[in-house]
Structure 1
C-alpha cells in the first residue's frame, strides 16, 4: 500500500472510544510482557491465523525522502511472514538457541504514542504505536531498536479479546546493528 493509499484509508477511520483505547493499551502491555519473557506460544494466541507480519527495508536518499519496501532499491523486506513461518521461528527459538542467544538475552519492549482508530463499519481497528526494544546479550552487548508499528486488529474470542492480523514494522535504523533478529517486535 502506498503512502497515499494509507492516508486515504486513515481518512475513513475515526478515533476509538476511551474504553476501547484502554482495552488496546492493556493488550499491548500484555504483548510486551509476553515478548520480553520469550513466551511465544502465548503470544501466538494474540495473532490471527491470517497474520501478515513484515518489515520493509528502509533507506534515506540524498533528497531526504524516506523510501520503503521495494522502493528502497534493496529488494523488499527484512522479513515478510505468515503464521506458518512465524510458528517455525517460535519452535526454533524454543529448541535451538543460537550462539548469540545462549544464554538468553535480557529483553525489554516498550510501546508508546498509541493512536487507535476504527473503520466506519466497526470491524477493523488500526493501531499506530512507537516502540523501543532493548536487547542485552552476554553481559556486554546491547542493542536498541526504535520505530513504528502499524497494526490491524479485530475483536477475537481469545482470552485477550483482540487479534492482530497485520503488522508493519518500520525501524528508525536502516540496518540491524546487532546482527541477529532472534526476537519479535
Structure 2
C-alpha cells in the first residue's frame, strides 16, 4: 500500500493535514482538532538544556514543558472553555507558520495502517489583549501521522517539538504548538 502511493504523494497529504490542523488551532476549533488525534496520542515538548557540544542530546528525556496523552489534552481543552480559565480568557490570537516539510519515515503500523513521520519547522506568533507586545516561539516538529488517507482520513499519533529556546518567554502555555 505504501509503495503504491509514493513518498511524494504521502508527504503532500501529510503537509495538507498539518496545515489544516494548524488552521483549526489558530481559529480555536478545538473540538474539530480533537477529532484529528488518535486514542494513543503522545504530545511532547522536552526542555532544551545547554550542554557541551559532544553531549548525547540537547534535550532532557525527563523534563517537559508538555508531556500529554489524549486524556490530559482533553482536560486542557475542556479547561479552555471553563469559567476558571483565566490564562486564556480572552483567548490568545495565534498563527502557526509551518515550513520545510521533510518525510523522515514511512511505515506500516501493526494494524496495517500507514504511518508517516513528517518533520517541519515551526514559528508560532501569539498576541494577547490589546497590547502591541507579542510572543514568538520557534522550533522543529516531528509529527507521526497515522491513517489511510481514505474515508477514515489521517490522524495525529505523536507530536515531538524541539524548541529553539532553553526558556520559554511566554506567560502561559495554554496553547498548542
TM-score, structure 2 as length reference: 0.83
Q: Are 2:79 and 1:92 aligned? A: yes
Q: What is the match of residue 118 of structure 1? A: 106
Give the CA deviation at 1:102.
2.5
Q: CA RMSD in A?
A: 2.3
* Deviation of the 1:156 alpha carbon: 5.1
Query: What stretches of structure 2 of length at least 5 have no aligned partner?
Result: 1-5
| Residue number among 135, 140, 144 corresponding to 1:143 in the alignment | 135
Give aligned pairs, total: 166
Deviation at 1:159, TM superposition (A): 6.2
Aligned partner of 1:133 in structure 2 is: 124
Query: Residue 100 of structure 1 contacts residue 137 of structure 1 at CA under 8 Å; is this kept in 2?
Result: no
Deviation at 1:127, TM superposition (A): 0.7
**TM-aligned CA deviation for residue 161 of structure 1:** 1.3
4+ runs deviating over 4 angstroms: 62-66, 156-160
Structure-2 separation of matches of 1:120 and 1:44:
23
Equivalent position to 1:104, from 81, 91, 107: 91
Does structure 2 retain, via aligned residues, the 8 Å contact 1:156–1:163? Answer: no
Q: Distance in 2 between matches of 1:171 and 1:82?
A: 19
The answer as to whether partners of 2:26 and 2:95 remain within 8 angstroms in 1 is: yes
Question: Is 1:49 aligned to residue 45 of structure 2?
Answer: no
Q: Which has the higher helix share?
A: 1
* Deviation per residue, 1:20-60 (Å, 9 max, x gap): 22211211111111010111110111110000111111112
Partner of residue 179, structure 1: 171
CA–CA distance in structure 2, aligned partners of residues 127 and 101 of structure 1: 29
